[in-house]
Chain A
Amino acid sequence: DAGVIQSPRHEVTEMGQEVTLRCKPISGHDYLFWYRQTMMRGLELLIYFNNNVPIDDSGMPEDRFSAKMPNASFSTLKIQPSEPRDSAVYFCASSPGLTQGDTQYFGPGTRLTVL
């Protein structure tokens, strides 16, 4: 399996622009997670899905952030409008769920810079 795929790997944008991050989970995994990592706040869970349904979005910082999972093989995290404080590395992870040990496998991350 190719593992979790994220795109783009790097994104540089200007404040106020819309940013869309993409994720393809490992085939057969029921759970998908979006995390944000910064030096100040560490690794934060933003939202996670089970079978394409959002389960917990309490980590989404503001209404500017939204996430969708239209099918089992694709998810997006959108920031509109973006701000400099959104600069971070955004990780997507997927997991097969409890029946197979709940291990999360992470993508390579998207490094977002908002100028």
Chain B
Amino acid sequence: AQKVTQAQTEISVVEKEDVTLDCVYETRDTTYYLFWYKQPPSGELVFLIRRNSFDEQNEISGRYSWNFQKSTSSFNFTITASQVVDSAVYFCALSEAGTNAGKSTFGDGTTLTVKP
């Protein structure tokens, strides 16, 4: 069965600090996708990134970077030089290509608060 664990329930940092959000997943499939979504205070769920299981390259997009390590079943998300606008709930999700194809399992989310 697929499972996503975001052990950090809440994180609080001061603006300009770097912060890493952890995501650990479990799956028996060899082909799967990993995602990060952002849910700002306004409530919408915004897609940030998708990674497939065959691509372990780290990715950087501006102040955001993602570290995918199959050896530790982790897909961590780092925000560099955090800003107040980064305050949101961040969800990690997993989608398998097998029996549950099409269905994603979400973690419980990490609430990030960036203080000025």
Q: CA of A45 to CA of B45 in the docked complex: distance in angstroms?
A: 14
Interface SS of chain A: helix, strand, loop or mixed? strand
Q: Which of A31, A50, A104 has the most CB atoms of chain B within a 10 A radius of its CB?
A: A104
Q: Which of B19-27, B78-86, B97-105 contacts A (4 or more CB under 8 A)?
A: B97-105
Partner of A45, one of B46, B47, B97, B103: B103
15 other A-B residue contacts (CB within 8 Å) besides A102-B104, A104-B47: A31-B102, A43-B106, A45-B103, A48-B102, A56-B103, A91-B45, A98-B102, A101-B50, A102-B95, A103-B33, A103-B35, A103-B47, A106-B37, A106-B44, A106-B47
- Chain A's closest residue to B44 (CB) is A108
Q: CA of A50 to CA of B43 in the docked complex: distance in angstroms?
A: 26
B91 at the interface (CB under 8 A from A): yes
Asked if A106 contacts B102 (CB within 8 A), the reply is no
A-B pairs, top 8 by smallest CB distance, nearest first, are A106-B45, A102-B95, A31-B102, A102-B33, A103-B50, A43-B106, A42-B108, A108-B44
Residues in B whose Cβ lies below 8 Å from that of A115 = none
Asked if B104 contacts A89 (CB within 8 A), the reply is no
18 pairs, CB–CB < 8 Å, chain A vs chain B = A42-B106, A45-B103, A50-B102, A55-B103, A56-B103, A97-B101, A97-B102, A98-B95, A98-B97, A102-B50, A103-B35, A104-B35, A104-B47, A105-B47, A106-B37, A108-B44, A109-B44, A111-B43
Q: CA of A30 to CA of B95 in the docked complex: distance in angstroms?
A: 15
Asked if B109 contacts A109 (CB within 8 A), the reply is no
Residues in A whose Cβ lies below 8 Å from that of B44 = 106, 108-109
Chain B interface extent, by class = 20 to 34
- Interface residues of chain B, those whose CB is within 8 Å of chain A, are 33, 35, 37, 43-47, 50, 52, 91, 93, 95, 97, 101-104, 106, 108-109
